[in-house]
Chain A
Amino acid sequence: MGIFLKDISLKGKTALITGATKGLGRGAAEAIAEAGGNIIAIGRNQSELNSLGKKIKKLKVKYTSFNCDVNNYDKIKNFITNLKKLDILVNNAGTNIPENFLNVKKTSLETLLNVNTKAVFNIAQLCANQIIKLKRKQGSIINISSIFGLVAGQKRTVYSMTKFGVEGLTKGMALDLAKYNIRVNSVCPNIVLTPRTKKYFSDKKYNKYVKESTPINKVVTISDVATSITFLASEASSMITGTSIIIDGGWTAK
């Protein structure tokens, strides 16, 4: 640590990451572990939880995994309320079913609201209560939002509704949790190339749309987002709360 430059170090901290087996969640877990943080990974795929564990343990930090669907409130509650250490939550599990507004299926709407809104709220609440109960003097919660939490996109009405909601939740939580020195922020990435979005990018028209919408001529990488998450998790951002880091190559600046 320098005179004015704070280090992104997470030594001795414990981070819980949902949706940790793939994409942004996996990237966040690896980056936090690289910064010295211990990892609690929640995901639904046991073999991927195991392979993540192998990678994390190589970085000489502790690794715990829990195979659970984030919609399973009772199971998640039982797990979180029994944690002995918790400082950071990366509230990442989320999904998307792109459909034109006029054709959005009732089941799609329910799936997205369950995962992106209700589970996100429940897990944030459970973790905040646990961080307070464990008498940690500080905490950091990072909700994974999206540029579609700030602007609209084609076939993204439900996704935007849920992510705009996450932006509101982030600000509200930041106010209620400030007195416990728990900071709450979101990251808003552009469309990142992940296993889930791969199929979108294989559509030429969509590829062109993303390229033309992004002033910086690059696709956002998982590591771009993971680095911002780690910055928000660490003391390097100790006065940053109730806001969003937008990682979009200028998409929303226009």
Chain B
Amino acid sequence: MLKKINLKNKTALVTGAGKGLGKACAIALAEAGAKVIILSRTKSDLDKVSKIIRKTKGSSKSFVCDVTQLEEFKKILQKITRLDILVNNAGNNRPEHFTKVKKENMEYLTNLNMKAAFNVAQLCSQKMVKAKNRKKIGGSIIHMSSQLGRVGCEGRNVYNMNKFGVEGLARGMAVELAEYNIRVNTVCPTFVETPMVKKFFKNKKFKNQMLKNIPLGRVAKESDVATAVAFLAADSSEMITGTSLVVDGGWTAQ
């Protein structure tokens, strides 16, 4: 009755895998038995992640890549023979009050969080549908969204716009890719203790204010999110598509 989170014989690609959630997802997927392809702009970060995966007897291959550079990403995909899982994770945030958002920040975030997310998902899907046994073995695409893909938050208007967009993209993709048995879902975490969030939390007032919004009274751990991603990647969730796994300690239940 119980389906385990087992990814043996699966190949997973993780973008933004050098740090934070991407790193945690890559390691978790490797722990579940997947061969993991990790992408990041920073080689030294990739080397560190590869080392951890090797230590846990996992398998990984790494590529230096800026996912906003479409041609760069295409070339890497050409070198990959097989792909079953995509963790579309690369993303960033630059919090600013709506009236003060700088044009270059809006464009930077939208290019990365939406445009690159779309392109990476499309190219990977095209690769995945080509596998002859796809319908039988299925595939899984997990977009890294956010609780801010479901509710608003001060200073997060661009990020809100981007992540609500990703939520829409996931649903549209799910409907169209269902015929290939490729499932598409998002994970919506609350604030997670990642290098990105640690920067925001240097502001103690902000940290306390955010913690007040999380009924469970704690921020999420990287492993909370990585485990949810692994659950969605595996056959443990084989009838789950076009939806979101909300890992927010109750933030959006209010």
State yes or no: do A and B come from one complex.
yes
A178 near B28 with CB under 8 A, answer: no
Nearest chain-B residue to A26 (Cβ)? B1
Tell me, yes or no, whether A12 is within 8 Å of chain B by CB.
no
Find B1's partner among A3, A34, A189, A236 (CB 8 Å cutoff).
Answer: A34
B242 near A253 with CB under 8 A, answer: yes
> Shortest beta-carbon distance, A28 to chain B, in Å?
8
Query: Digit string of A182-198 for contact with B (CB within 8 Å is 1, else 0)?
Result: 01000001100000000
Count, A-B residue pairs, CB within 8 A: 176
Instruction: Enumerate B72-115 residues with CB–CB distance to A below 8 Å.
Output: none
Residues of the B chain whose Cβ atoms lie less than 8 Å from the Cβ of A222: 1
> Shortest beta-carbon distance, A32 to chain B, in Å?
8
Tell me, yes or no, whether A171 is within 8 Å of chain B by CB.
yes
In the docked arrangement, what's the CA distance between A246 and B243, Å? 7
B31 near A224 with CB under 8 A, answer: no
Nearest chain-A residue to B254 (Cβ)? A175
Instruction: Enumerate B138-156 residues with CB–CB distance to A below 8 Å.
Output: none
Find B223's partner among A3, A190, A221 (CB 8 Å cutoff).
Answer: A3
User: Interface size (A, Cβ < 8 Å)?
Assistant: 52
Find B3's partner among A171, A183, A223 (CB 8 Å cutoff).
Answer: A223
A175 near B31 with CB under 8 A, answer: no
Residues of the A chain whose Cβ atoms lie less than 8 Å from the Cβ of B215: 174-175, 178-179, 241-242
| A178 and B175 in contact, given A3-B52, A5-B31, A239-B190 (Cβ under 8 angstroms) | no
Chain A residues proximal to chain B, CB less than 8 Å: 2-6, 8, 27, 30-31, 34-35, 170-171, 174-175, 178-179, 181, 183, 189-190, 215-218, 220-224, 226-228, 230-231, 236-243, 245-250, 252-254
Find B227's partner among A5, A27, A178, A241 (CB 8 Å cutoff).
Answer: A5
Residues of the A chain whose Cβ atoms lie less than 8 Å from the Cβ of B241: 215-216, 248-250, 253
Find A253's partner among B1, B28, B56, B174 (CB 8 Å cutoff).
Answer: B174
Q: Which of B217, B227, B230, B231 has the most CB of A within 10 A?
A: B227
| A242 and B253 in contact, given A215-B178, A216-B181, A253-B174 (Cβ under 8 angstroms) | yes
Residues of the B chain whose Cβ atoms lie less than 8 Å from the Cβ of A240: 224, 228, 245-249
User: Interface size (B, Cβ < 8 Å)?
Assistant: 53
Find B31's partner among A4, A27, A34, A239 (CB 8 Å cutoff).
Answer: A4
Tell me, yes or no, whether B68 is within 8 Å of chain A by CB.
no
Tell me, yes or no, whether B42 is within 8 Å of chain A by CB.
no
In the docked arrangement, what's the CA distance between A232 and B190, Å? 17
Chain B residues proximal to chain A, CB less than 8 Å: 1-5, 24-25, 27-28, 31-32, 52, 56, 171, 174-175, 178-179, 181, 183, 189-190, 215-218, 220-224, 226-228, 230-231, 236-243, 245-250, 252-254
Find A217's partner among B32, B174, B179, B252 (CB 8 Å cutoff).
Answer: B179
In the docked arrangement, what's the CA distance between A245 and B187, Å? 11
A223 near B178 with CB under 8 A, answer: no
> Shortest beta-carbon distance, B137 to chain A, in Å?
13
Find B250's partner among A220, A224, A242, A253 (CB 8 Å cutoff).
Answer: A242
Residues of the A chain whose Cβ atoms lie less than 8 Å from the Cβ of B238: 218, 224
Q: Which of A30, A224, A227, A231 has the most CB of B within 10 A?
A: A227
Residues of the B chain whose Cβ atoms lie less than 8 Å from the Cβ of A189: 239
> Shortest beta-carbon distance, B100 to chain A, in Å?
32
B27 near A4 with CB under 8 A, answer: yes
